[in-house]
Amino acid sequence: LFPNEPDYSALHKVDRALVREFLETHGLEPGRKRFLFCGRLTPSARVNVLIDAFISISVGLPDWDLVIVGDGELRGDLQARVSAELSSRIRFIGCVNADRMSSCYPACDVLVDPSDDNPWGMEINEAIACGLALIATTVNRSAIELVRHRDNGLLVAPRSVPALAQAMREVTR
């Protein structure tokens, strides 16, 4: 059973004008492809692994960016991992209200959840409802239930920068 579920109707009928407004508000260029992370910036979220994976593939994927939605104790440390050269492609946009998330998902292409301790990530449900491809770890409980490997997403080993980078490359093909 799902602990709770998102408002699927709000995710299915997204006003394209609101998506354009979301892009403008957060300085995201229209027409670019985006990986998306949504969640608290805490140690178990493993956003450091995601950033390192993106950095390792960024040269080979010049049309792709990484959008990080959320806030938390590690924000400063995570931002410090990003070179000035990549700061326009790895964007920290902070917390987004639940009613604005329905504009965030269609502005992106792939949800990536590298966490190694997530009892039930609602963002997995929401991303599926919006038709995004998914990359998550094999210990993420919602991903285990909802991601069908190589069908609607990819499951990778937790804490592995090479595995996550490979999955990110694979999903862009």
For each successive 10 residues of the chain (173 residues), what is the average pLDDT? 66 86 96 97 97 98 98 98 97 91 94 89 89 94 88 95 98 95
Please name the residue that has the structure tokens 């093909």. Answer: 173
Tokens of 96: 């987004």
Other CB atoms within 10 Å distance of the CB of residue 72:
14
Query: Which amino acid type is present at position 89?
Result: R
- Determine the Cα–Cα distance for residues 131 and 105; give it in Å rounded to an integer: 9
- Determine the Cα–Cα distance for residues 72 and 39; give it in Å rounded to an integer: 9
The helix (run of H) or strand (run of E) holding residue 165 is helix 161-171
- Determine the Cα–Cα distance for residues 28 and 93; give it in Å rounded to an integer: 10
Q: Taking a C-beta distance cutoff of 8 angstroms, is the pair 104, 126 a contact?
A: no
Q: Taking a C-beta distance cutoff of 8 angstroms, is the pair 23, 30 a contact?
A: yes
Quick one: CA torsion of 124, 129, 134, 138, rounded to 10 degrees? 40
pLDDT of residue 3: 54
pTM, two decimals, is 0.93
